[in-house]
Amino acid sequence: MLSNLWKSCHASVCQLRFLNERGITVDSLTGFKVDDCLITSQHAFCVEKAFKVEITFVGADANSITATMRIPYSEFIKEMRIGVVSSLGHYAVFNINLPEFQSIPSLKLSVQRNFSIGSLLAVLTFNHGYSNLGLKTGIISSVFANREGVRFIQYDGLLNYGNSGSPLIDTQTFEVVGIVSRRSTPLANAYNQLMGIITDNLTELKKVEASVKFGDIDPIQVLIANQNQLKQLAKVIYKHTASGISNAVMLDSILSFFNNDTIAEPEAKQAKEEFDLYQNLR
């Protein structure tokens, strides 16, 4: 069953590597193709220091490149972006109707809205930013909605760096039922809070820099260096720590973007109209 799922779905899943001006990877996400669109995590819109994005699809051996291209990050988020279906949706949609990706097959989005606890699901993803595609499984352990009303599937598989944007796939139908969202976990929230505190500390220390000295030692510089070291340590720990709570946002809103027969939310209607207009102008 799982080997058939791999054969049927692997070719539609890609890695997004965000590179700085020196060509160093600053972040990594997973995405997948539906029709002529790329779906991934909403975090793709706000990658710090990103200069280019590299989109890569691989073959059945999980490594051989079948299609790839590098795009300036500014072009990716401004010209290829066709809207976030919902500002609270935890995912983003981009147009990849390009010659390089014409041969890439499309995954199918499930219209299922209710899910049984204990059902087996699979995730196709790029773990820890490595360039080889992987297959992971887990059962639905729960379902819930956050305070904004966005619904999630909670499953018992581990989440790693690079997993955000991955398709959560029904092992029976091979259809996508959710989009992995590592950035919505308690681990991510704690990391963001810590980074906010460190940033505030650095801002305050910069205000009094060089105002105090003990001989040749500037204690403020020592504190600034300490905060920067703590910041780097937090990044490394967050990047290499797996989250024990794995969430995938359900497709309630995004279905209306791809299916005309689904009742669309206002944001989805607007995004769909923008996409249709874009296609007519091509």
9 and 104 in a single domain? The answer is yes
Comparison of pLDDT for 132 and 209, the residue scoring more: 132
DSSP state of 282: -
φ, ψ (nearest 5 deg) of residue 187? -60, -45
| pLDDT at 266 > cutoff 50 | no
CATH number, domain of 63, equals 2.40.10.120
- Output the pTM of the full model: 0.80
Confidence of residue 277 (pLDDT cuts 50, 70, 90): very low
Whether residues 145 and 60 share a domain: the answer is: yes
- Per-residue model confidence (pLDDT) at position 89: 63
Residues 256 and 130 in one domain: yes
Mean pLDDT highest for which of 97-101, 144-148, 156-160, 219-223? 97-101
- Give the pLDDT confidence score for residue 269 in this predicted structure: 45
**Are residue 7 and residue 141 in the same domain, yes or no?**
yes
Residues 25 and 123 in one domain: yes
pLDDT of 282 reads 40
The pLDDT tens digits of the residues spanning 234-243 come to 878 777 777 7
Given the structure tokens 């000295």, which residue do they identify? Answer: 213
Domain count, the chain: 2
Q: What is the pLDDT of residue 270?
A: 46
**In this structure, are 104 and 228 located in the same domain?**
no
Tokens 């607007």 -> residue: 270
Shared-domain flag, residues 132 and 196: no
Q: Residue 88 has what pLDDT?
A: 59
20/94 same-domain check: yes
Task: Give how far Cα 137 sits from Cα of 5, 29, 40, 168, 247, Å.
Answer: 11, 18, 19, 9, 13
The answer to whether 218 touches 208, Cβ cutoff 8 Å, is: no
Residues 159, 62 share a domain: yes
Sheet bearing 37-41, strands edge to edge? 65-72, 52-58, 13-19, 25-34, 37-41, 91-95
216 with 145, same domain: the answer is no
Q: What is the pLDDT of residue 83?
A: 64
- The pLDDT-based confidence of 271 (bands split at 50, 70, 90) is very low
pLDDT band, very low/low/confident/very high, at 185 (cuts 50, 70, 90)? low
Q: How many CA atoms lie within 13 A of 84 on its CB side?
A: 15
DSSP state of 260: T
* Dihedral sign, Cα of residue 173, residue 44, residue 91, residue 123: positive
**Residue range 70-83: mean pLDDT, rounded:** 90
Question: How far is Cα 182 from Cα 192, in angstroms, rounded to an integer?
Answer: 12
Are residue 150 and residue 262 in the same domain, yes or no? yes
- Which residues, listed in sequence order, are joined to residue 25 by a DSSP beta bridge? 19
Structural domain that includes position 228 = 186-239
Q: Residue 119: what residue type?
A: S
The Cα 68–Cα 103 span in angstroms is 12
The gap from C-alpha 232 to its chain's centroid, in whole angstroms, comes to 22
Domain boundary residue among 239, 257, 273?
239
Residues 41 and 91 occupy one common structural domain: yes
